Amino acid sequence: EAGVVQSPRYKIIEKKQPVAFWCNPISGHNTLYWYLQNLGQGPELLIRYENEEAVDDSQLPKDRFSAERLKGVDSTLKIQPAELGDSAVYLCASSLGRPGDIQYFGAGTRLSVL
Amino acid sequence: AQSVTQLDSQVPVFEEAPVELRCNYSSSVSVYLFWYVQYPNQGLQLLLKYLSGSTLVKGINGFEAEFNKSQTSFHLRKPSVHISDTAEYFCAVSEVDSNYQLIWGAGTKLIIKP
């Protein structure tokens, strides 16, 4: 069974440019999460979807970040425009969405903003 | 959970020696507890979890953890480490009646010395 797939693995852009990350969750997982992970820190939740609905986006910087999960499967996270401080690893995870369920993570996208 | 503390940012240990990675949390309600491992340039993978029942939980790769409610701790242990255990280990906590949000510790790098 395929795990959570993220692309690209690495992305280097100049500041003020747009960037997009893509995530394909495990089949049947209705809950999808986007996290940001800075070096030496734990993941920080950006947004959580249940099917196609964003049920927790309180930590998403909405002035420059946006996300969508059309049809409740794949998801895209976009930054426009990117800033130097956005350099980090962006992780996608999925789960069945029940209390105590395991979150399964993709390998992440490492973003470098120059 | 209000916060998760992993006091040790790095733990160096000789190969075949025992290791304990500490995790403390603050919460006034019942919690679910998780340990995840992150190998270099990979996503996070579940080691073990505590939902209820026996306070001693066994996970993959010979790791185990013990939930101590009075001390609000969930320390991770392994009796004999191998070079392949070199990774970063994250403790995460979710309050039982929360919106499934995981609160993450900052991580502990386990460094195995030959």
Band of the pLDDT at B39, cuts 50, 70, 90?
A: very high
**Distance between A108 CA and the closest CA of chain B, angstroms:** 6
Rounded CA gap, B45 and A106, in Å? 9
Q: Which two tokens stand for residue A65?
A: 């970040």
Report yes or no: B28 at the A interface, CB cutoff 8 Å: no
Rounded CA gap, B24 and B52, in Å? 17
Q: Is the pLDDT reported for residue B5 higher than 80? A: yes
**Residue B85 identity (one-letter amino acid):** D
Contact B100 A40 (CB under 8 A): no
* pLDDT of res. B1: 59
Q: What is the mean pLDDT of chain B?
A: 93
Listed by number, the residues of chain B in 49-88 with a beta carbon closer than 8 Å to a beta carbon of chain A are: 49, 51
Contact A42 B41 (CB under 8 A): no
Report yes or no: B102 at the A interface, CB cutoff 8 Å: yes
- A 10 A CB-CB count for A46 gives 21
Selecting from B41, B92, B100 the residue whose C-beta is nearest the C-beta of A97 gives B100
**Distance between B80 CA and the closest CA of chain A, angstroms:** 25
How many residue pairs bridge chain A and chain B with CB atoms within 8 Å of each other? Answer: 60
Q: Is the pLDDT reported for residue A69 higher than 90? A: yes
Q: Which two tokens stand for residue A15?
A: 């500041």
Judge residue B11's burial from the number of C-beta atoms within 10 Å of its C-beta, 0-12 exposed, 13-18 middle, 19 or more buried: middle
Contact B44 A91 (CB under 8 A): yes
* pLDDT tens digits along A25-67: 999 999 999 999 998 889 999 999 999 999 989 899 999 999 9
Selecting from A42, A93, A99 the residue whose C-beta is nearest the C-beta of B90 gives A42
The larger pLDDT score, comparing residue A70 to residue B87, is at B87
**Distance between B10 CA and the closest CA of chain A, angstroms:** 10
* pLDDT tens digits along B62-71: 999 999 999 9
Sequence-separated contacts (24+) of B63-72 with Cβ below 8 Å = B63/B35, B65/B33, B65/B35, B67/B33, B71/B24, B72/B24, B72/B25, B72/B26, B72/B27
Cβ atoms of B112 and B85 closer than 8 Å? yes
Least confident of B41-55, B72-86, B93-107: B93-107
Contact B46 A102 (CB under 8 A): yes
Rounded CA gap, A35 and B103, in Å? 12
* pLDDT of res. B47: 96
Q: What is the DSSP letter of B53?
A: S
Judge residue B70's burial from the number of C-beta atoms within 10 Å of its C-beta, 0-12 exposed, 13-18 middle, 19 or more buried: exposed
* pLDDT of res. A20: 98
Can you tell me the mean pLDDT for B12-27? 96
